Amino acid sequence: MSKPHLLVHESKDNVGVVVIEGLTAGTEMLCVVTHDNSDFKLTAKHDIPIGHKVALTDLADGETIIKYGEDIGKMVAAAGQGEHVHTHNMKTKRW
């Protein structure tokens, strides 16, 4: 297997985390689900920094974000599959 671009922790997660420097728009990412070591491909729609999230499916405004199999927040603006998910379009539900 090649080096992954994106890690997904659980199969029910709807975001993954970029694990390489310099990910650019148009890159066909190798995505690995760490829970079962399965993999899939997804195209990055934006340049996305290492450590930032990518939408695995289309995410609507108000939709719950699942990472590590847990609710980590909600979308405050929509993001399409392969798009950057971070503080500009996702917020914690804590405040």
The total domain count for the chain is 1
Residue 23 CB burial class (10 angstroms; 0-12, 13-18, ≥19)? buried
pLDDT of residue 27: 98
**pLDDT tens readout for residues 36-66:** 999 999 999 999 999 999 999 999 999 999 9
pLDDT at 1 over 70: no
Domain assignment present for residue 83? The answer is yes
Has this prediction a pTM greater than 0.85? yes
To which residue do tokens 């379009």 refer?
Answer: 89
What CATH number has the domain bearing residue 77? 2.30.130.110
Instruction: Look at residue 1 and tell me if it is in a domain.
Output: no
CA nearest to 56, candidates 77, 34, 67: 67
Residue numbers of the domain that contains 21: 6-91
End-to-end CA distance of the chain: 41
